[in-house]
Structure 1
Amino acid sequence: MDEELIDEGDIPRSRYTRLPGKGFFYPDSLDDERAERRAKETIEGSEAVVIADGDADGLACAAMIREAYDAALDPADFEAAIAARLGDGERNDEEPDEGAGDDEASADADTDDPTEDAHTQSPVGLVAAGPYSIDTSLERVFAYADDDVDLFVCDLCPDDYEWIAEPLEALAESTASIRWFDHHQWDESTAAAVRDLGVDLVVGESDEECTADVALRSLDHDFDDRWAELATVTRDHDLWLKEDPRSDDLADYSYWAGSEEYTTIVGAYGADLPETVREYVTDRRVEKEARIDAAVDRAVTHEIGEWTIAVTYGRCSQNEVAEALRERGADGAVIVKPAGSASIRGSEGFQHAHEVAGKVNGGGHPQAAGCKPDIYDDMLDYAHHWTTEGQACKRVILAAFEAVAEEVAEAAAADESDSDGDE
């Protein structure tokens, strides 16, 4: 492929935000080979291994675990690399597909990190993952970890037990311990099956704690106050409380930085990022805000049941777009991504995002979920997706909203009937 076709340098934003980032056009086989190689380098010889979601919450847990093992990396090299990126005006064009199964691309964001061997330096290896690559990550730990390694899994929730059963059961026999920290909503049978293996599974209340809170109270270590502050600020964004402006800095930085870089920097500085990092985040936000504006301008609202649902398309930051659409009166928002996935966001008036996502190959929380409808058979389907701004994807998701609206209405009618019968 002619690289100029996907080079954004001379392409208007109105056009390139309708297309996936360059990583989408990178063959999965080559990406898988690189991910496998890096996992092997990371895991081999490690005293402990952390499999964590590659967002601010999961990586905060990784930083805490490294602190507990006295295994944090020196931030100096990373800070120098950040300053160099800032000076070069570098812009990472990749947009992770949240909750949609494209996890290797989103988790392995270290591609241009000049500290190329950082992932091999800590005795606590870090494997960044996503909800749909938990099984692959577990398999890699089993393949490359020494016997009696300590394994941690953070901020990840499997949809069901069966697809992680084989590697997790094997690891339960070979590891010294497995501890799993999370705050998502677990199916009771899945949680019971995991615990039956001897896994120390600690699940916090999803509307009260982030996983960093869970890790902080679960790890047997005397953490100083900055770690509690890091958990609090991480929770502020992860639960969308929006009370501390530093939480946006953490979320944005984790999105743009590699997993090793973010873990090292917050491990050293906590929630108060150093000046170089703040400058970098501020610089990157110029592009971010422009993409948000473009997505908001493309939004179309639909009345479904008692809800007003805004639907848009584009490569953008889904949480901020959803917030802007809520401010315009939407109860829920759908952000369809060029890579084929979609983020579904709710509000106090709409807390069924996970139910909608569950009908189209996804899942999540009542007010935050992700999905990737199984509608893409070949590149012509993707071409249609890009040129119609996700028309087919929007259609199946709106149908899911309608189905959930019917279920909610039926449940409300049944409750009313039961109530009348009790009188």
Structure 2
Amino acid sequence: MYDELIDSGELPIARKSVVPGTGFFLPDSLEEDLEDEQTAAALEGADVAVVADPDADGLACVALIREAYDDVRNVPEPDDEDDKETDADESDETADGEPAADAVDDADEAAVALAAAEAEAALEEPEPTPHSVALIPASPHDVEDALARVAEYGDEGIDLFVCDLAPDRYEYVEEELDAALETASAVAWYDHHQWGEDVAQSVRDAGVDLVVGDSDEECSADVVYRSLEYDFAPMYEELAAVTRDHDLWLREDPRSDDLADYAYWSDPAAYVEVVREYGADLPDWVGEFLEERRVEKQALIDQAVGRSELREIGGYTVGITYGRCSQNEVAEAMREQGADASVIVKPAGSASIRGTDEFQRCHEVAGKVNGGGHPKAAGCKPDIYDDMLDYANHWVTRGAVTKQVILNAFEEVVEDAADADDGAADTAVDDA
């Protein structure tokens, strides 16, 4: 296949909005080989490994841990970020057959979609000074692979942290976690997503120090900040607070959008070092970088909002659309149009589900279609794509089948909730 056929970088916005990015088309085998090489290089001589979701929250966790371990700082020069066009907007936002508890962030897509040449360049040009605290990026759908790589490539006795990631089922990570525990001297897992009690207990029983924060009150960076026995400078407390502002979709601090966008568009390693140096107040050169990228971001948002529609389901108004875009802003636009919940179906086949105070069952909807997440923010990838013809139909119809599957899940959740309310009312009458 000609490279230009899968390189969407130069496409007009209207066409770019409806097809996946380059990373979607990379074979899994190539991706896995590159990730093996990158992990082995990162772990060479490292005393600590941090497996983290490479969004702003997960990367803030890495920054805090590096600071606590007094790890070297390799702050990038402004020019280092100028040409980082990853075109990784649409690789695989959610779980492929093994849903994770939260698969909702834009950065999930970027984490696994580095183009081959870019990944190889990263291997050829290692950071100036190796880190003793190695960053191992992992999306929710491949945390078990990251654990297996730490077990294989990490030095005996390494400390292991897992941050901002949660398995829906213990069996998804059981073997790999056991292997990592044999290699590591200690394993700590810091998160803020909703864990099943049985999953959490199994992880703890395996020998992991698991700390799960309240997903309505804390982000994972908050959990790391309060869990590590280290006296952080005030800038790190502020970093956690501003990260929380975006991760919990509070949107009270304008800096939080900058952190989220910079984490999405920059190399994860660069992001960690920049926020260690500057905290939540990003330097001017990052602001210029973000301003340039946001022109296209807004254009893609406008495309998705323009094709949105509203559906009435059991007394709730559900907005639904299709497009390669930043889902949070699109969901906010549909909320302003009257949506109690919003669904953004992506060209890669995944979807983001966003709720409001009126609808707080997003994780239940996602759970019915191969996903999971929070009450107000969740993600999924319906198991309906058997071959490339199914994906071709998905792109041509703007996600028609996926939309209907998710809307059906909404109907089931709303009906289940109504039945539960009726049952509770009947019980109350009987007890009276």
Residue 132 of structure 1: SS of its match in structure 2?
A: helix
Alignment of 1:306-325 (within 5 A): 306-325=315-334
- Partners of 1:298 and 1:312 within 8 A in 2: yes
Cα shift at 1:78:
4.2
Alignment of 1:119-268 (within 5 A): 121-268=130-277
Backbone CA RMSD of aligned residues: 1.9
Cα shift at 1:171:
2.4
Amino acid at match of 2:235: R
Q: 1:99 aligns with which of 94, 98, 102?
A: 94
Distance in 2 between the 1:415 and 1:353 partners? 22
Alignment of 1:329-368 (within 5 A): 329-368=338-377
Distance in 2 between the 1:277 and 1:109 partners? 22
Distance in 2 between the 1:188 and 1:240 partners? 25
Residue 133 of structure 1: SS of its match in structure 2?
A: helix
Q: Quick one: structure 1 residues 209 and 346, their matched pair in 2 at CA, closer, same or farther if it must change by over 3 Å?
A: same
Distance in 2 between the 1:383 and 1:109 partners? 20
Question: Where do 5+ consecutive residues of structure 2 fail to align?
Answer: 97-102
Q: Quick one: structure 1 residues 100 and 167, their matched pair in 2 at CA, closer, same or farther if it must change by over 3 Å?
A: closer
1:70 aligns with 2:67: no
Q: Quick one: structure 1 residues 119 and 416, their matched pair in 2 at CA, closer, same or farther if it must change by over 3 Å?
A: farther
Amino acid at match of 1:300: E
CA deviations 1:21-68 (Å, max 9, x no partner) are 011122221111111111111123210000001100000000110111
CA deviations 1:149-203 (Å, max 9, x no partner) are 0000000001111121112123223311111100001111111111112211110
1:292 aligns with 2:301: yes
Cα shift at 1:79:
2.7
Residue 353 of structure 2: SS of its match in structure 1?
A: strand
- Partners of 1:161 and 1:190 within 8 A in 2: yes
Amino acid at match of 1:421: D
Distance in 2 between the 1:152 and 1:216 partners? 13
Distance in 1 between the 2:211 and 2:128 partners? 27
- Partners of 2:20 and 2:347 within 8 A in 1: yes
- Partners of 2:55 and 2:264 within 8 A in 1: yes
Distance in 1 between the 2:9 and 2:47 partners? 44
Alignment partner, residue 38 of structure 1: 38
Distance in 2 between the 1:389 and 1:314 partners? 8
Distance in 2 between the 1:193 and 1:186 partners? 11
Cα shift at 1:421:
2.5
Alignment partner, residue 279 of structure 2: 270
Cα shift at 1:282:
1.1
Alignment partner, residue 22 of structure 1: 22
Amino acid at match of 2:322: Y
Cα shift at 1:105:
5.7
Distance in 1 between the 2:214 and 2:74 partners? 34
Amino acid at match of 2:111: A
Amino acid at match of 2:94: G
Amino acid at match of 2:293: R
* TM-score, normalised by the number of residues in structure 2: 0.92
What percent identity do the matched residue pairs reach?
54
Higher mean C-alpha deviation, range 236-245 or range 410-419 = 410-419
Residue 186 of structure 1: SS of its match in structure 2?
A: coil
- Partners of 2:9 and 2:87 within 8 A in 1: no
Distance in 1 between the 2:394 and 2:167 partners? 28
Cα shift at 1:132:
1.3
Question: Where do 5+ consecutive residues of structure 1 fail to align?
Answer: none
CA deviations 1:202-254 (Å, max 9, x no partner) are 10000000000000001111100000000000000000000000000000010
Aligned length: 417
Amino acid at match of 1:107: A
Higher mean C-alpha deviation, range 26-35 or range 131-140 = 26-35
Cα shift at 1:422:
3.1
Amino acid at match of 1:58: G
Q: Quick one: structure 1 residues 4 and 231, their matched pair in 2 at CA, closer, same or farther if it must change by over 3 Å?
A: same
1:117 aligns with 2:129: no
Distance in 2 between the 1:34 and 1:119 partners? 21
Cα shift at 1:298:
0.6
Residue 152 of structure 1: SS of its match in structure 2?
A: strand
